[in-house]
Structure 1
């Protein structure tokens, strides 16, 4: 009997007692057993950072695909189903192909301890090596230096998006320590595009690049991006581009757009302006301040408007507050669920004064979920009026009675995936 990918993935979760165990030893061993697929990839764009990796990757992909390029893309976590993590030459991996791929990788690994992220990343690299394409976009899972994606000797380009506090128990409790982990993707002689950074993070990145002789293209030094008169202005030594605003809402997407355009200027040659315009208008990335207009939950929320965002750290809370302030005035009510690895009060604090209330929920099916009662206590600690609900549907029914308000479901990509499944609209396609 042929196992489904879900059954194989469930078995893979039991191969290591820890969810996260940062080292590359197990990855190198499995890659070697599979013939070192990391050495046979189409040109790689490797993306690390705390926030903006997925959105930046999605813009680059939209720009390259508008040129007719075939693009592999690897991202994590998924929202509705695992297949979203592996995009082969423009399309999400099919179920039969995924099941066969996972079976092959599992057989090569045997019973050797390896984390779920490590073995599935190796599977993605094998799929990318076996399928022709023009480019490979690799998003770091955690950190950079010891991340399972950090096995490509000479990528075509590296990108470091804004670095901020997150996963401190694994990456360090200061910004410079975290930046050092992210800067671990910089390779000797390979250009690195650097997004907006805290000064102390930029200093760490610059030192690592100097040590390896890696040219940097730094925001605010080598390229500039801004919103002007309802459009986006990008400028570097090659000249000025006057482009549409990115289709993804929020002021933080301006910086993400700048990194994507800098990458396309580096990769797309003479057609970079056309590719950059397409990157702005054709980009789609679910659960990043996404308006849900259709689906079961959207219907349940009416007459309220329903939004979804998967940000989950203090910097994400800050940009979410900025985004809400930029929307047409309307009372905003949050439905929030988070994981116990996150700085809950740090995430919620910027939203005080922007949101009228918060309804806390637990995330179904997630062992690391914070109980709704605890999320509500953290909300109260930052002066955000909070109640609890047994589930998202109950919270929506209660909030819809308030009339044409704005409801934002937020706090976790895992909650966002649950919401997309409930809504019946799924994740990326």
Structure 2
């Protein structure tokens, strides 16, 4: 997998090749270009169904999955925009719950690329414009939109009137973009991340967040106050606990909901954020029963996903094979919590611009073996980056086939790019 991907459809591939030729002009940050592009297209972002806009370092994709599942459980039709794709570019745009069809996708991309020829647009701006066009032209009751990089200057942030915005977990990632020096921006790393994510807060639009350290909390409070947006933070305006069930509480009352089926203790927090976003807006009505069904039914590939039996997992013998695309320290800590007190074999592929200790470090106490694999199509860390015990192998297939017969689980982790290749090899392409 790469950002531009390949398609079996010649029409889509023709447009993907045009996308691949685009690049973000060095040093350009802002929403001016996407604004100009959308104006040429008739401002479709002003014509979409009520939107739930989600930012965050980790957990935003899962929060979007809960929002979609809950809305659909109540019989509502939902468009969703998530990123990145794992196998097919089509995964970025779902129309009424289904991946956008090749012919429609090709037509949308061609329309956007043709009208933006001299604007020096980026891959993400074209993708976002195509998404807004589709969402405006096809009827639905709601849409769920995930930010890409950051929030403040993310192309999706051109929306002015979402139904609600949400901010998931904050952590340090994409430092070259999100921590670049800027006059007037906070210098402390987590505060700066909060500053960027809080850029999606809009005047009069309910903003729901988790709880954060004081410096990050202050930046979000400042953004909400400056925008005149009602702010609903966990621990202040709403809260949730999870043991045997998810107990959610806010000014509207208390709810007892089932725990998510998606693995990981952090998923209860993501589900609770989705509930908070739905409960603190008034444009889309959802029943409590649908909230429970949606929490149970939500799925999000390559995030602590237990792989099915397939061509790839067959190489690992009689053992569980898990997949996670996380690549930053927060993701590593979440994985360590899930596999606490359990030995496992780690197959790790990480891009060279990521911290090699982000995943390997938190998991080290329970790691029975560590095999480093390349991330196809990308510059990745060699085995020595993960320590003396790490062994270099040529592929995930070789890594799985060489595991000892101890039935310990194996975790393939470190990159969403690698995760896409794994899903494709195991015949588990997202649909």
Whether 1:57 aligns to 2:64 is: yes
CA contact (8 A) 1:193 1:263 kept: yes
SS at match of 2:347: strand
Structure 1 Cα separation of the partners of residues 104 and 36 of structure 2: 23
Unaligned runs of 5+ in 1: none
Deviates more, 1:167-176 or 1:138-147: 167-176
Whether 1:423 aligns to 2:423 is: no
CA contact (8 A) 1:234 1:242 kept: yes
SS at match of 1:137: strand
1:69 corresponds in structure 2 to 76
State which of 382, 403, 407 in structure 1 corresponds to 2:406: 403
Structure 2 Cα separation of the partners of residues 113 and 266 of structure 1: 39
State which of 241, 247, 253 in structure 2 corresponds to 1:239: 253
CA contact (8 A) 1:13 1:116 kept: yes
Whether 1:206 aligns to 2:221 is: yes
1:391 corresponds in structure 2 to 395
The TM-score normalised by the length of structure 2 is 0.92
SS at match of 1:321: helix
State which of 89, 110, 125 in structure 2 corresponds to 1:82: 89
SS at match of 2:352: coil
Whether 1:156 aligns to 2:163 is: yes
Whether 1:348 aligns to 2:371 is: no
* Cα shift at 1:219: 0.7
* Cα shift at 1:358: 1.3
1:34 corresponds in structure 2 to 41
Deviations 1:288-330 (A, max 9, x none): 10001221112111212100001111111111100111xxx65
Whether 1:370 aligns to 2:373 is: no
Deviations 1:56-103 (A, max 9, x none): 000010000011111111011001111111011111101111111111
RMSD: 1.8
1:182 corresponds in structure 2 to 197
Whether 1:95 aligns to 2:98 is: no
CA contact (8 A) 2:74 2:287 kept: no
State which of 100, 113, 129 in structure 2 corresponds to 1:106: 113
Structure 2 Cα separation of the partners of residues 66 and 99 of structure 1: 30
CA contact (8 A) 1:19 1:115 kept: no
SS at match of 1:353: helix
1:357 corresponds in structure 2 to 369
1:338 corresponds in structure 2 to 350
SS at match of 1:104: helix
Whether 1:147 aligns to 2:154 is: yes
Structure 1 Cα separation of the partners of residues 168 and 103 of structure 2: 34
Structure 2 Cα separation of the partners of residues 118 and 354 of structure 1: 42
Deviations 1:222-270 (A, max 9, x none): 1111112x22111112222111110111111121011011122235877
1:266 corresponds in structure 2 to 280
SS at match of 2:300: coil
Moved >4 Å (runs of 4+) = 17-21, 267-271
The TM-score normalised by the length of structure 1 is 0.92
Unaligned runs of 5+ in 2: 1-8, 180-187
* Cα shift at 1:385: 2.7
Deviates more, 1:30-39 or 1:230-239: 230-239
Structure 1 Cα separation of the partners of residues 148 and 178 of structure 2: 12
